[in-house]
Amino acid sequence: MTIFDAHDLIVRDLAANGDNATDYVIGNVHFNLTTLNHWNYTIFGNGTISNGSWCFLTFEPYVPQLLYPNGTFINGTWCYTPVKHIGVRGGVGVAFACLFGLSLVPTLINLAKHGKLYLPAEKRFYPIGRRWQWYWAILVAVAAMIGLFTGIDVDRYYIASLPIVLNSFFWFLLQMGAMALVWESVRHWGSWMERQYIDPNPFVLQQTDRRGMFELWLPIVFYMWLWLNFFLIVPRNWGNLELQRDPDQSAMFAEPTATDSRFKAATFCLLACWLTTLVSLWHSIRHYEERSRGLFNRVIGGLGYMPFRFVLMLPIALGLVAYQGLAAWDFSVSPLKQDTNFVAMYVGGYVPALLLIIILNVSGFMRPNEDKALIQQRRERGAAIDAEMGIARKPAWWRRVNGDRGASNMRDLIMRNVREVGGRNTNDQNVDAVVDRRAREADTTASPAPIEMNEMRRANSGTSSIRTARAPPPYTPYTGKSEARRTEVAMQAAAGFLFPNAAPPPSFSESVTTDEPRGRTSSQARASNVRPGTSERSNSTQSSQSLNGQPQQVRSMLDI
């Protein structure tokens, strides 16, 4: 038997070509012709024999060795078996897959760097907004790796099958993810500009104005075009792409599917996504950067304000859209074709996505975390305001050296401010002022009797110098005949001065009773009957000597 070329269009009905009328020879192996015809087997020009359900290779060294009457071949090789060597598609695809895999490492590093929060999360700027560009970069890398590794089986399969479908499917996902990567980079840059713009004054821009509503609807418009691109491409009959077993079959089934109107319309949807990204960039420059007069100056100013990474990413993304449109019109350069132009396929289909990820990662390493950048801007604004007001801030080590660890709560902060303003404790200042005022009043009093101290009463007596601004009444010496009573009044005045928080002593009229001898107070009488406990406050020393002995003679402050 002659082994037909893989691109030969001959389809032969089986007829006797062996030793007799019921003998058929395939690769020097004799088969029963009656059984072959009974099971509707047909030999094709690409070296296969099939009946629509079963397909086997018919060239050496994969020739079947035996045919059972039930139509089963023994030691046959299934047509959809990787029997070829890796070709150009698979070899170059492995190299690109490794590059995309390596790009995951810096992408994850940048995701951890820029996604970390150093400030409280704000409702107006969600933390996930700054991470989406890195999520899309991961999706692009994973989709590229899966699609490129399946390119190995595209080369090795003798007949085109599922690998060509997987390779094409993940390539389209790669295109969508790359466009979304560019969009999220531009959108988030605008959000970062807005955050810096309103950080000094959160009320300078409203969220319900025309600008805010435009920023609300713009992402919805972008993802609407992106999802239209997805639904025009993905939900379809992908089986026609497998029918590339010879040129006529490919021209009849695969090419019309790969260049139909849905693929062409999907290209325009992807172009709309690119234009929406361009509008978002223009909107951010217009509202968050300085404006220039004149059209020419505005163009120059916009290019100057725009980050350099966008100068590279936007043209690359436009080239990605252009190649997808070219593949939708020209099947010879489409990645959906098994034997396509591999230079056009990799340069136009995979290099742009890889460059976008590289540019994004390089810019991510060069830029700081946004929360840290915002903290630094706040420090600079604070330093500028302090310089205008003439305030010199001490460095951080100053507090540690001087033992000032900062206030732990609001009460400590207020007390620290009071000490800084007054210099000393407030109670100490009041006591000193009272002593000075009383000394001046004592000097001006024309009394022949010596003045030791005056009684200081609590707030309920209306004469407290601590709680009221009024000066206490001048000291009136005791003019009675009882020397014990005179001494007791002096002691009470001294005790009230030294212990201002103590209970006020009873008045003289309340302390003297009719049944006690003259000169003895009621407090002494009560102390002789009931001894106060250790937890009770008493003006006595709680000793038998102080109860039974004579009152102490006060001569000076050292005796008290």
Q: What is the pLDDT of residues 197-215, one digit of tens each?
A: 888 888 888 878 888 889 8
Confidence at residue 467, expressed as pLDDT on a 0 to 100 scale: 43
Angle value at C-alpha 401, between 395 and 406, nearest 5 degrees: 70
Output the six-digit token pair for 10: 């001959």
Q: How far apart are CA 508 and CA 521, in angstroms?
A: 8
Band of residue 485 on the pLDDT scale cut at 50, 70, 90? confident
Q: How far apart are CA 298 and CA 285, in angstroms?
A: 10
pTM: 0.67
Q: How far apart are CA 287 and CA 285, in angstroms?
A: 6
Query: Residue 457: pLDDT above 60?
Result: no
Confidence at residue 477, expressed as pLDDT on a 0 to 100 scale: 57
Phi, psi of 80 (to 5 degrees): -95, 60
Q: Which residues of 185-197 are buried (b: 16+ CB within 10 A; e: fewer)?
A: bbbbbbbbbbbee
Band of residue 231 on the pLDDT scale cut at 50, 70, 90? very high
- Identify the top-confidence range among 166-170, 398-402, 436-440, 491-495: 166-170
- % of residues, the chain, pLDDT over 90: 33
Query: Residue 464: pLDDT above 80?
Result: no
- Asked if residue 534 lies in contact with residue 545, where contact means CB atoms within 8 angstroms, the answer is no
Q: Which top CATH class is 88-378?
A: mainly alpha
CA distance to 492, 521, 523, per residue, from 528 (Å): 19, 11, 9
Confidence at residue 35, expressed as pLDDT on a 0 to 100 scale: 83
Residue 366 identity (one-letter amino acid): M
Place of tokens 């939708």: 328
Confidence at residue 295, expressed as pLDDT on a 0 to 100 scale: 62
Band of residue 550 on the pLDDT scale cut at 50, 70, 90? low
Residues facing residue 74 across a β-bridge: 66
Q: How far apart are CA 340 and CA 338, in angstroms?
A: 6
Q: How far apart are CA 359 and CA 169, in angstroms?
A: 25
Confidence at residue 387, expressed as pLDDT on a 0 to 100 scale: 84
Band of residue 398 on the pLDDT scale cut at 50, 70, 90? confident
Confidence at residue 553, expressed as pLDDT on a 0 to 100 scale: 59
Confidence at residue 175, expressed as pLDDT on a 0 to 100 scale: 94
Q: For 53-67, 225-239, 401-415, 487-501, which range has the lowest pLDDT when averaged over its residues?
A: 401-415
Band of residue 526 on the pLDDT scale cut at 50, 70, 90? very low
Angle value at C-alpha 102, between 101 and 104, nearest 5 degrees: 70
Region(s) of the chain under CATH 1.20.1070: 88-378
Query: Residue 520: pLDDT above 80?
Result: no
Half-sphere exposure of 374 (CA within 13 A, CB side): 18
Mean pLDDT for the stretch of residues 326-351: 92
